[in-house]
A and B are shown apart, each in its own frame.
Chain A
Amino acid sequence: MADLLRDMRYALRVLLRSPGFTAVAVLTLALGIGANTAIFSVVNAVLLRPLPYPESNRLVYLGEWSEQVPEMSISMANFNDWRAQNTVFESMVGYQSDNVVLTGRGEPERLRLRRITAGFFPTLRVRPILGRELTPEDDKVGAAPVVLLGEGFWERRFGRDPRIVGQQLVLDQQSFTVIGVLPSRLHGSLRQMDLFTSLWRLEDELGGESNRGSHPGIYAYARMKPGVTVDHARAEMKSIARHLDELYPQSNGDDSVVLQPLLDAIVEDVRPSLLVLMGAVGFVLLVACANIANLLLARGVERHRELAVRIALGAGRWQLVRQVLTESVLLSLAGGMLGLLLAVWITAALVRGTPMGVPRMDEVSADRSVLFFTFCLSIVTGVVFGIFPALEASRADVQETLREGGRTGTAGGGRRRLRDFLVAAEVAVSLVLLVGAGLMAKSLFRVLQADGGINPANVLTARLSLPDAKYNDDAKRRNFVSQLVLKAQSLPGVEAAGYKNPLLGGAQNAYVIEGRPLPPPGRLPSADISRVSPEAMPVMGMRLLSGRYFDDHDNENTQHVCIIDETFAKQNFAAGDVLGKRIYSGGPPPAGQEPDWLTIVGIVAHVKNYGVDQPSRVEMYVPEAQRPAGGGSIVVRSAAATDPAALTTGLREAIRSLDPDIPLYEFRPLEDIVNENTASRRLSVLLIGSFAVLALLLAAVGVYGVMAYMVTQRGHEIGIRMALGASQREILEMVFRQGLRLALTGIAAGLAGAMALTRLMSNLLFHVGALDVPTFATGALALAAIVLLACWLPARRATRVDPIVALRYE
């Protein structure tokens, strides 16, 4: 211990004696460790930290699985059977998400609501901070409507007034009694909920026991009994599902169960990109390490004599290693501390810059494990970059060094090889990052270039929902929508307006084609179906490939029609033989009566509803007028110069004049919605790109350092060569050849590394192969160019060597 203290004191003195070196090293390390800490605090919060519930590793997520829809919601009857028959869960609860409109308390407001079954929060082991839980008595058909508030909503809307319990809230025209408030210590999606109410009270609307084929958006959480593993639970649930398939082949087909740890279910989408980021930022640190190791090696030359003297005085090899390592660890700890400050700042920027939809981003904070990570990382970093110089130092050849006397020797060919190796490694790692960033950037470019099937420019959208209680028949709904569209169309600046439900994507519905044999149950093909007003499709820029758009004649009194997309047409019909064919949508046609056939009147281009880089499904459109439903989005195309604020006000006034209790909400340009799909991709490109640039800079500095050092070291040799007749060009060539050798070694290793590693990110790529030749080639060329650039100054310096001066000193 005393030894260690002495070593540290000495190391501190050595570091303070060369403040320039120390500052550069600490800054480089701070950058590397800071970036790593920042990304780690995101990874920690999102992937590693347990959910904020006691024994949360026993919580699982459940959904239904079928061939066509791998993650389907659970039918109510199946849910009840799963719950009754399983032996692996302590409790199992269901939920469904929805939006409701709060009225009667000033401006109507649309709120996020989750319908839950009784026992939902006890399963998570969360208790209300005020009032009481939802009981089984609240959770059945005919029970008095009750509601629990989220803490955020309670604070925002009621200023944490405890007297709210017992008061009434009017939601979608129905009165609910507030029974309690839940804490905000919930995971992301739950914390954002404003309201919680009973799910089973709506049993009849959800299909109930009798309608096993209906999947009304219910998903489930369960808490496994102590000692039950996820695999065990999954196996049992699958066997229960198989049994139900046998009992109810008509509705269940070959359905099965999806069961995942709850944490996995929440974060699985972001895990690959976060891990790639973590890897990338780790590489940056490696490059930084190599750089500092190089600096230390260069300094080692000067210290060689000191170390040789120490050996001559009897220092053991291990004592020397320890001495030098103490120095490097001290350096990296200083870098780590500065890095931590940097990380706080980077993390804040990251959290601010991250698009919605990355789960748990709001939980990011520097907790104890982040501090621990940074501490360990600093130590490891210090050892990694210190070990080469330390071993080098311990290998000092006493005799030679002392005999060499003052000569700042060209000795230590081993040292030079080591430095060359480190720089080549830096080049290699930077190339891996550069290629990775290049692939991501190219993917992003492809995504932005890709045809999504719609033209979102100058289209404003807003949502509305029609409460069932008031708009309780088709005529009322139809009427409201057509009135609203008419009013919107007459607003100044508006070129056309329409209505679509839902705005993007659709409700998945099984369909049957007239005259074709019926597939076995559960094997019916399905399509995303959406309801549109006649103008909606042209407003959104959907391209008609053949036939016609809907028009005002497609109404409740005329033949029922539909428009399909090109993939639907390709999958089911011969080219040119589509229009006029009839399909039935909504499951197998009812027996014993004429199905409600829809005649195909048009084919449109396929729309990539969930983002051009996401899988999309076969699509189909029906006229809103023939199948009205409760809510949707109004879409308005305006002249480019139109003020969106004025348009928003105009639309608000339009709807208020029709029904003051119905709010329009989520006013958003369609372009923003479409761009949101690429937001996380853009962030990844930005981050990996910055890491690559950082690594590249560090590598360039490293190359520069090594070459400059080489020129200094070999100034004598260069002098000799000039005295022997070397021309400037030949000296330049000599330096560049050396640099190029480094570059080529590094680039070859980097290309090999990139080939091995980019495969790991192939599921983040879009229309770009993980081994995309142009990207690899560009990366390699760019790196070669940068290395040569970094050689330029030292090479020029080499040509300025004055042979007389270089040769004089003896």
Chain B
Amino acid sequence: MEPLIQLRNMEKVYEAGGSKFYVLRRVSLEIQPGEFVTFMGPSGAGKSTLLSIIGMLDGSWTGEYYFNGEPVHRLNVKKRNELHKANIGFVFQSYHLIDNLTVFENLEIPLSYKNVPHKERVSLVCDILDRFNIVGKKDLFPNQLSGGQQQLVGVARAVIQSPKLILADEPTGNLHSAQGEEIMELFRKLNEAGTSIIQVTHSERNAAYSHRVIQLKDGWVVSETSNAARVG
């Protein structure tokens, strides 16, 4: 089977005052469809950077990147955006819901950018509200929700367009452990239903939910460990 993601010799450099600063060094890795992968590593290791590149928010890097066989490194911005829009959902540490939109409207955003007709949009949002058990919150604004509820909406927003891949950067970083667990359970269910997931986390407990842990340090991939227990 073709890998979902294939990186070869990916490098990213920041130039500051004439000196170059490598954030990613010769990163090569493959992620298969249906995999649940965790990036770990100390602060500043380049985890978020790598996630943005995979999520196609960041286009300035060198190396090769195949998404589903498509050579991302050869695509122009527009094509890349389309690929991103069609396949990838984001979940953020600080949720990043839009403050002055209701839960319902927040969930609608990704659909509106995919030109989903209004009727279908409404039914999709209703479905997802149902699935995530937040129907009662649909008319509330983000600041009227608890952190866990906000992240629930954040995840719901990421999955509403049924992406192939969910990218989550420290999704439970701002949550109590109980709330965090709820989100991780959600991820597991989604993964079991076939969605690939890449998460960044500092928590071993969260990492345990995934199939594979990739360690980064100073921009280098330093180790890969399979969670044999989970692969079962």
Interface set of A (CB-CB < 8 Å, partner B): 410-411, 413, 716-717, 719-727, 730, 803-804, 807-808, 810
Distance in angstroms from A412 CB to nearest chain B CB is: 10
Q: Tell me which residues across on chain B come within 8 A of A804, comparing CB atoms.
A: 52, 57-58
Cβ-defined partner of A722 (8 Å) among B57, B100, B114, B161: B57
Nearest-CB residue, chain A, relative to B158: A724
Q: Do residues A410 and B92 form an inter-chain contact, with CB atoms below 8 A? A: no
Q: Do residues A725 and B84 form an inter-chain contact, with CB atoms below 8 A? A: yes
Distance in angstroms from A704 CB to nearest chain B CB is: 22
Chain B interface residue number, banded: 20 to 34
Q: Do residues B96 and A807 form an inter-chain contact, with CB atoms below 8 A? A: yes
Given contacts A804-B52, A808-B48, contact A725 B113 (CB under 8 A): yes
Cβ of B145 < 8 Å from any Cβ of A? no
**Given contacts A410-B100, A727-B78, A807-B92, could you give 11 more A-B pairs where the C-beta distance is less than 8 Å?**
A720-B96, A720-B98, A720-B109, A721-B109, A723-B96, A725-B84, A727-B85, A730-B113, A804-B57, A810-B92, A810-B94
For residues 126 through 172 of chain B, which have their beta carbon under 8 Å from a beta carbon of chain A? 157, 161
Sorted from nearest, which 3 A-B pairs have the closest CB atoms?
A725-B85, A810-B94, A725-B113
Q: Do residues A810 and B84 form an inter-chain contact, with CB atoms below 8 A? A: no
Q: List 19 A-B contacts (CB under 8 A).
A: A410-B99, A410-B100, A717-B99, A720-B96, A721-B98, A721-B113, A723-B57, A724-B90, A725-B85, A725-B114, A726-B109, A726-B113, A727-B78, A803-B57, A804-B58, A807-B92, A807-B96, A808-B48, A810-B92
Q: Tell me which residues across on chain B come within 8 A of A807, comparing CB atoms.
A: 92, 96
Interface membership of chain B positions 90-119, coded 1 if the CB is closer than 8 angstroms to chain A and 0 otherwise: 101110111110000000011001100000
Distance in angstroms from B82 CB to nearest chain A CB is: 9
Given contacts A410-B99, A716-B96, A807-B92, contact A724 B109 (CB under 8 A): yes
For residues 59 through 100 of chain B, which have their beta carbon under 8 Å from a beta carbon of chain A? 78, 81, 84-85, 90, 92-94, 96-100
CA distance A807 to B58 in the complex (A): 12
Q: Do residues B55 and A723 form an inter-chain contact, with CB atoms below 8 A? A: yes
CA distance A810 to B58 in the complex (A): 18
CA distance A716 to B157 in the complex (A): 17
Given contacts A725-B113, A730-B113, contact A413 B100 (CB under 8 A): yes
Nearest-CB residue, chain B, relative to A727: B81
CA distance A411 to B141 in the complex (A): 12
Nearest-CB residue, chain A, relative to B48: A808
Nearest-CB residue, chain B, relative to A404: B143
Q: Tell me which residues across on chain B come within 8 A of A724, comparing CB atoms.
A: 90, 109-110, 113, 157
Nearest-CB residue, chain A, relative to B161: A725
Nearest-CB residue, chain B, relative to A723: B90
Most buried by A among B58, B78, B100, B157: B100
Q: Tell me which residues across on chain B come within 8 A of A810, comparing CB atoms.
A: 92-94
CA distance A726 to B114 in the complex (A): 8
CA distance A719 to B52 in the complex (A): 12
Q: Tell me which residues across on chain A come within 8 A of B93, comparing CB atoms.
A: 810
Most buried by B among A717, A723, A727, A807: A723
CA distance A453 to B8 in the complex (A): 88
CA distance A658 to B90 in the complex (A): 103
Nearest-CB residue, chain B, relative to A716: B96
Q: Tell me which residues across on chain B come within 8 A of A803, comparing CB atoms.
A: 57
Distance in angstroms from A743 CB to nearest chain B CB is: 21
Interface membership of chain B positions 37-59, coded 1 if the CB is closer than 8 angstroms to chain A and 0 otherwise: 00000000000100010010110
Q: Is the interface of A mostly helix, strand, loop or mixed?
A: helix
CA distance A722 to B85 in the complex (A): 9
Distance in angstroms from A485 CB to nearest chain B CB is: 83
Q: Tell me which residues across on chain A come within 8 A of B81, comparing CB atoms.
A: 725, 727
CA distance A803 to B48 in the complex (A): 13
Q: Do residues B100 and A727 form an inter-chain contact, with CB atoms below 8 A? A: no
Q: Do residues B110 and A725 form an inter-chain contact, with CB atoms below 8 A? A: yes
Q: Tell me which residues across on chain B come within 8 A of A722, comparing CB atoms.
A: 57
Q: Tell me which residues across on chain B come within 8 A of A720, comparing CB atoms.
A: 96-98, 109
Q: Tell me which residues across on chain A come within 8 A of B113, comparing CB atoms.
A: 721, 724-727, 730
Interface membership of chain B positions 15-54, coded 1 if the CB is closer than 8 angstroms to chain A and 0 otherwise: 0000000000000000000000000000000001000100
Q: Tell me which residues across on chain A come within 8 A of B100, comparing CB atoms.
A: 410, 413
CA distance A808 to B23 in the complex (A): 15
CA distance A177 to B110 in the complex (A): 99
Nearest-CB residue, chain A, relative to B53: A804
Distance in angstroms from B42 CB to nearest chain A CB is: 17
CA distance A803 to B109 in the complex (A): 16
Distance in angstroms from A710 CB to nearest chain B CB is: 12
CA distance A791 to B57 in the complex (A): 25
Distance in angstroms from B116 CB to nearest chain A CB is: 11
Nearest-CB residue, chain A, relative to B110: A724
CA distance A807 to B95 in the complex (A): 10
Nearest-CB residue, chain A, relative to B101: A717
Distance in angstroms from B142 CB to nearest chain A CB is: 10
CA distance A727 to B94 in the complex (A): 23
Distance in angstroms from A542 CB to nearest chain B CB is: 71
CA distance A724 to B100 in the complex (A): 17
Distance in angstroms from B76 CB to nearest chain A CB is: 12
CA distance A413 to B102 in the complex (A): 14
CA distance A413 to B99 in the complex (A): 10
CA distance A719 to B85 in the complex (A): 14
CA distance A807 to B98 in the complex (A): 12
Q: Tell me which residues across on chain B come within 8 A of A726, comparing CB atoms.
A: 109, 113
Distance in angstroms from A694 CB to nearest chain B CB is: 34
CA distance A126 to B81 in the complex (A): 87
CA distance A803 to B169 in the complex (A): 14
Nearest-CB residue, chain B, relative to A726: B113
Nearest-CB residue, chain B, relative to A718: B98
Distance in angstroms from B167 CB to nearest chain A CB is: 9
CA distance A724 to B106 in the complex (A): 11
Nearest-CB residue, chain A, relative to B170: A810
Nearest-CB residue, chain B, relative to A714: B98
Most buried by B among A721, A725, A726: A725
Q: Tell me which residues across on chain A come within 8 A of B98, comparing CB atoms.
A: 717, 720-721
CA distance A716 to B57 in the complex (A): 14
Nearest-CB residue, chain A, relative to B174: A810
Distance in angstroms from A652 CB to nearest chain B CB is: 81
Most buried by B among A410, A720, A726: A720
Q: Tell me which residues across on chain B come within 8 A of A413, comparing CB atoms.
A: 100
Q: Tell me which residues across on chain B come within 8 A of A808, comparing CB atoms.
A: 48
Nearest-CB residue, chain A, relative to B86: A725
Distance in angstroms from B78 CB to nearest chain A CB is: 8
CA distance A807 to B97 in the complex (A): 11
Distance in angstroms from B50 CB to nearest chain A CB is: 12
CA distance A720 to B81 in the complex (A): 14
CA distance A716 to B85 in the complex (A): 19
CA distance A719 to B161 in the complex (A): 19
Q: Tell me which residues across on chain A come within 8 A of B99, comparing CB atoms.
A: 410-411, 717
Distance in angstroms from B113 CB to nearest chain A CB is: 4
Q: Tell me which residues across on chain A come within 8 A of B57, comparing CB atoms.
A: 722-723, 803-804
Q: Tell me which residues across on chain A come within 8 A of B48, comparing CB atoms.
A: 808
CA distance A146 to B32 in the complex (A): 119
Q: Tell me which residues across on chain A come within 8 A of B110, comparing CB atoms.
A: 724-725
Distance in angstroms from A177 CB to nearest chain B CB is: 89
CA distance A807 to B93 in the complex (A): 10
CA distance A198 to B98 in the complex (A): 88
CA distance A714 to B48 in the complex (A): 22
Q: Tell me which residues across on chain B come within 8 A of A410, comparing CB atoms.
A: 99-100
CA distance A411 to B142 in the complex (A): 12
CA distance A724 to B94 in the complex (A): 15
Distance in angstroms from A715 CB to nearest chain B CB is: 12
Nearest-CB residue, chain B, relative to A722: B57
CA distance A410 to B141 in the complex (A): 13
Nearest-CB residue, chain B, relative to A803: B57
Nearest-CB residue, chain B, relative to A413: B100
CA distance A725 to B82 in the complex (A): 8
Nearest-CB residue, chain A, relative to B78: A727
Distance in angstroms from A718 CB to nearest chain B CB is: 10
CA distance A22 to B105 in the complex (A): 40
Distance in angstroms from B102 CB to nearest chain A CB is: 13
